[in-house]
Structure 1
Amino acid sequence: MTGAATTLLLPGWQNSDATHWQSRWEAVHGDHRVEQHDWMRPKRGDWSACLEEAVLAAPGPVVLVAHSLGCILVAAWAAHSRHTTKVRAAFLVAPGDLERDDLRQMIPGWAPIVRQPLPFPALMVAANDDPYCDAARARGMAADWGARFVDRGPGGHLNGESGLGDWPEGRALLNDFLNDNED
């Protein structure tokens, strides 16, 4: 796949606020947020349709940069889309465990989590103290999806509350991963 890739940001439930690294990357790097119709009551089919539209609208290849529910979206979308060949790579950060009872009740319709291998290279970064996903569950998702796994150590949900700012460490991980997966 040649040409510059469009970076598509896939926030999780309730979107990414101004202090979130995804919002900072949008401002600093010009990445493109995939807007959802309803950030508060996410429906898997609606979110997948919005991702499909964004992938098709991109002029060339795309890089998916997902956080939390966005990671679960990538797996669900990839299982059904006929356009996964446009994806150069996926950067998956802090997946939420939507099979956990409390989260499944707050965000219904997303369990079971699609656990088939992704048809494109993927890198997952997760903290070992994420309140929304046990470290072993995150590792299991990464393994099932065929994603390389990076243990970030402590950091919570790796969101705005984690104090990552522009998260240069994350951007470096993404860039190194993309360089390692050049065609």
Structure 2
Amino acid sequence: MKTVFVIHGYQASPEKHWFPWLSQKIEAAGAACEIIHLEDPDVPNYAVWKECLHMQIAPLDENSIVVAHSLGCISTLDFLSQALKGKKIKAIFLISPFKDALPSLPELNGFIQHTKIDEFVIQTAIQKRFVFISNNDPYVAPPMSIRLGQAIHAQLVEVKYAGHFMQEDGFTEFPQLWNKLELLLDQPVISSVE
């Protein structure tokens, strides 16, 4: 059975934005969905979030798909850079991702400095990689997301005037993401023979 792990970002929670809607869509399609709870999202702590991911994202295998938003993206890529050594997962969807300090949110600089992304592991252990960007994101300038997408050889998907893909931007549903994700839930898993 395919499992989709959804990771929220800064000042968010499993109940916010489009996460509950996406979870319903995934479960209605016959897959499992786990929305990861990250502690103290208003004052994120790198070590605490890493432990939350370690405790809640399991097991990872070729049936696993990861969806992450904003600060959740860099946290997840940092976690997967170690967790995927010797493993493969089906796909990752990164929504408004970044890997450099954000001028708009300097309070996150310390968190961001702790993260390390092994681009080779991410490229080789994740079969399909997608980066969603918005042309009017007030927090993450599109070139920041594009740079990260290029570093991990991801497919870029632009959604016009989507802001930061939050409830406040009208994103209680996210059909553009679902259209791509749904296709992967239908595909049979082909195990690689070592």
The verdict on a shared fold, with TM-score over 0.5 as the criterion, is yes
Letter in 2 for 1:23: P
**Per-residue deviation, 1:41:** 1.7
Distance in 1, Cα, partners of 2:182 & 2:36: 20
Distance in 1, Cα, partners of 2:87 & 2:70: 23
Distance in 2, Cα, partners of 1:34 & 1:169: 22
2:8 counterpart residue number: 11
Q: Deviations over 1:44-85 (max 9, x none)?
A: 222122222222257973211101111111221122225672
Q: Structure 1 stretch 60-69 or stretch 4-13: which is displaced more?
A: 60-69
Distance in 2, Cα, partners of 1:13 & 1:84: 30
Unaligned runs of 5+ in 1: none
Letter in 2 for 1:70: G
8 Å Cα contact 2:21-2:172 kept in structure 1:
yes
1:75 counterpart residue number: 77
1:26 counterpart residue number: 23
Distance in 2, Cα, partners of 1:165 & 1:88: 25
Distance in 1, Cα, partners of 2:115 & 2:187: 28
Q: Could you tell me the TM-score, scaled by structure 1's length?
A: 0.82
Specify which of 108, 111, 122 is matched with residue 109 of structure 1. 111
2:170 counterpart residue number: 163
8 Å Cα contact 1:42-1:107 kept in structure 2:
no
Distance in 2, Cα, partners of 1:59 & 1:143: 24
Letter in 1 for 2:155: R
Letter in 2 for 1:155: A
**Per-residue deviation, 1:32:** 1.4
2:30 counterpart residue number: none
8 Å Cα contact 1:78-1:84 kept in structure 2:
no
Q: Could you tell me the TM-score, scaled by structure 2's length?
A: 0.78
**For residues 156 and 181 of structure 1, do their structure 2 counterparts lie closer, same or farther at Cα, with a shift above 3 Å needed?**
farther
Letter in 2 for 1:140: R
1:132 counterpart residue number: 139
**Per-residue deviation, 1:125:** 0.7
Q: Structure 1 stretch 126-135 or stretch 92-101: which is displaced more?
A: 92-101
1:88 counterpart residue number: 90
**Per-residue deviation, 1:17:** 6.7
> Once superposed, what is the RMSD of the aligned Cα atoms?
2.8
**For residues 151 and 113 of structure 1, do their structure 2 counterparts lie closer, same or farther at Cα, with a shift above 3 Å needed?**
farther
Distance in 1, Cα, partners of 2:188 & 2:156: 15
Distance in 2, Cα, partners of 1:82 & 1:29: 23
Q: Deviations over 1:131-170 (max 9, x none)?
A: 1111111100111122111111221001111213322222
